[in-house]
Chains A and B, each alone.
Chain A
Amino acid sequence: MNFATKVLHGTSCFDPITGASSVPIYQASTFHQADLDQPGTFDYARSGNPTRAALEEAIAGLEGGERGFAFASGMAAISSVFMLFSAGDHVVVAEDVYGGTFRFLTRVLSRMGISVTFVDASQTEAVRTAITPTTKGIYLETPSNPTLKVTDIAAVCRIAKQHDLLVIVDNTFMTPYYQRPLELGADVVIHSATKFIGGHSDVVAGLAVTRDAALGEQLYFIQNGMGAILGVQDCWLVMRGLKTLKARLDVSTNTAEQLANWLSAHPEITRVYYTGLKEHPGHQVQASQSSGHGAVLSFDVGSRERAKALFDRVKLPIVAVSLGAVETILSYPVTMSHAAMPAEERAARGITDGLIRLSAGLEDVNDLIEDLKQALQQLPPLQKIVEVKEAFSRA
């Protein structure tokens, strides 16, 4: 079945009891047990709820995995998956992970005796070099946030197999429509479903899928034991969003591509990051492991004051934290998604003061270009800033 069909008819697309065209919201915390000796499928909603089960089956099917899990947020999914490791374990992590993941790893998990080495995972050899005798897993985000570095998932998985390591991939930017890491050899896929999967900036949610049943059992134990599950209303909203995932991404990706090309040619922009651009260093790998380049791009306007001027002048995009919505969202990684990362760590990852992330929505692309054009026309001059900077450094 093709993705477009699977997203609608893959699993649980209707309620088997009533035939209702949408899975009902089971707003129940507990389930009556008919017989002491024969427990029903559902007993307590933290352990399992029919609405949540429908979403969990759907995402497992789309990612090509064995078992799906819905969590209270993307971070709840990430913090729960990291519970697969124990004190003394070491994990190799892609260096430009989402700021919230970085914060969790360095300020919460580190106190629990789990150590982490951050590497530039786009350099496969760097991943291999970072492996130590206590290494138990590799954690990837590809393309990375916000500079869209691409990691060769299959190559990393081959290294992982040699060392018997788990590979966990945050697939938020791509979604299973464009990229299915489990098919490339990964063991666990994670989503902030708040983003493209939900798609409407109206629900915070996290998802995880395991490739095999045994790992699924382990993660189920953690999900139930820690209890960071997703509420039923939110499960239903995510499923509703999921139905239009392909249709939304087709439009948004096309828009992102056109914007990336337009921005690349614009004199006020110092750099554009988008894997769809042929000159992007990860273009080839991305094209080989994914069926699309996605709807997120970043660009550099050269300085904080120019970024601020742009944010003040754009009319259409929402200036906000988050991405992956029907509305185009502009964000400023330095103070938003990557605020949790120390300045020196940010600088090392190319997250400069002039960097702006754009998540393309469903507006007409020409309207977006017009809006960006008028905003860029009014920026303080780029050249002058460079000159002043040089004067300062000479003085």
Chain B
Amino acid sequence: MHLETKLVQAGVGKDEKTGAVNFPVYYATAYRHPSLGQSTGYDYTRTANPTRSVLEETIAEAEAGDAGFACASGMAAVHTVMGLFSQGDHLIVSLDLYGGTYRLFEQLLSRYGLTFTYVDLRDIQKVADAIRPETKAIFVETPTNPLMQITDIREVVQLAKHNELLTIVDNTFMTPYCQRPLELGADIVLHSATKYLGGHNDVLAGLIVTKGAELSEKMRFLHNSIGAVLGPQDSWLLVRGMKTLALRMERHEANAFAVAAKLKEHPAVAEVFYPGLAEHPGHDVQKSQASGYSGMVSFRVRSVEQVGLILQNLRIVSFAESLGGVESLCTYPTTQTHADIPQEVREYVGVCDRLLRLSVGIEHPDDLIADLTQALDASLVVGGALR
């Protein structure tokens, strides 16, 4: 069965009693036991909830994994996965990383004796050099946020397997529609499902998918023990969003191509980062490991003064922190998503104060291009005259 079909069929027909096409929202915390020592399979909603189960089975299947786990947010998913590690363990992590993940690692988990080395994962030799006896895993974001750097997942997996490390991939930007890291050999896939999977900027959620029975069992234990689980209404909303994932991703990508092409030729723009562009340094790797390029485009303007003017003048594109929704959003990583990353680290990786990130929505491309063009034009006008 194709992914499009699997997603649309999520939960369909599972409610045998009524035949409801959409699976109901189970607002129950506890489940009546038929007798002492007997269970219906559901005991307490933190441990398992029927609505959440539909979501978890759907994402597990979509990512070609063995078990899925729904969490209260993307960060709750990252944190739950990190529960696999113990004091003294070391991880190798993408250098260009979502700021929230960086903050969790450096400001919270470091207090528990976990250590992290941030490496440009495009350079496999550097990754190999960073491995220590206490290294337990490689944490990959590809494409990276916000610079869209592409990591060769197969190459990292090969190195990880050779050194008995887990490979964890944050697949938020790509979704299983474009990229399935578990099929490329990774062990765990993570999502901020708030983004493309939910797709409507209306639900906060995280997902984890594991490969293998033992790892799945460990994750089940952590998910239940830490308790950062997703509520039933949010689980239902997420399944609802995922049914249209394929349609949305096609449109996001088509619009992103159109926007990237327009940005490239605008005089206000110095540089465009989109893996779909043939000249993008990661284009070939992306093409070999993913079936698409998704809808995230970053660009650098020529001067920092332009940033405020662009954000002020955008009419259709919202200036807000998030991505992957049907509405187009523009984010300023320096003060928003990546504010928790120290300035020198940010600048070293290229997240400078002239960088803007666009999550291209599914509006008509002409409207998006017109809006971006007028805002970019305005950013070149100082005191009524062209800069």
- Enumerate chain A interface residues (CB-CB to B < 8 A): 27-37, 39, 43-46, 71-76, 78-79, 83, 86-87, 100, 103-104, 107-108, 111-114, 194, 198, 201-204, 206, 221-222, 225-231, 233-234, 237, 307-308, 311-312, 318-322, 325, 329, 332, 335-336
Contacts and interface: CB of A to CB of B under 8 A. Distances in A.
Contacts of B222: 108
Contacts of A45: 194, 204
B231 A108 contact: no
A73 B103 contact: no
A231 B72 contact: yes
Given A204-B29, A234-B231, A227 B225 contact: no
B345 interface: no
Interface in B1-48: 27-33, 35-37, 43-46
Nearest to A335: B37
A332 B308 CA distance: 61
Give 3 closest A-B pairs by Cβ, nearest first. A75-B227, A227-B75, A228-B228
A308 B29 contact: no
A202 B111 CA distance: 36
B35 A107 contact: no
Given A76-B72, A113-B113, A322-B44, A225 B226 contact: no
B176 interface: no
B318 interface: yes
Contacts of B204: 29, 45-46, 229, 231
B30 A320 contact: yes
Contacts of A113: 87, 112-113
Given A29-B322, A198-B29, 20 more contacts: A29-B204, A32-B318, A32-B319, A35-B312, A39-B335, A71-B227, A76-B227, A111-B86, A111-B87, A114-B112, A201-B29, A202-B29, A203-B29, A225-B104, A226-B79, A226-B108, A234-B231, A311-B35, A320-B43, A321-B44
B307 interface: yes
B152 interface: no
B217 interface: no
Contact of A87 (B79, B83, B111, B335): B111
A41 to B, nearest CB: 13
Interface of B: 27-33, 35-37, 43-46, 49, 71-76, 78-79, 83, 85-87, 100, 103-104, 107-108, 111-113, 194, 198, 201-204, 206, 221-222, 224-231, 233-234, 237, 307-308, 311-312, 318-322, 325, 329, 332, 335-336
A28 B75 contact: no
B30 A201 contact: yes
A30 B323 CA distance: 9
A321 B312 CA distance: 53
Contacts of A319: 32-33, 35-36
Given A32-B320, A320-B33, A226 B227 contact: no
Nearest to B26: A202
Contact of A320 (B32, B233, B318): B32
Contacts of A108: 83, 222, 225-226
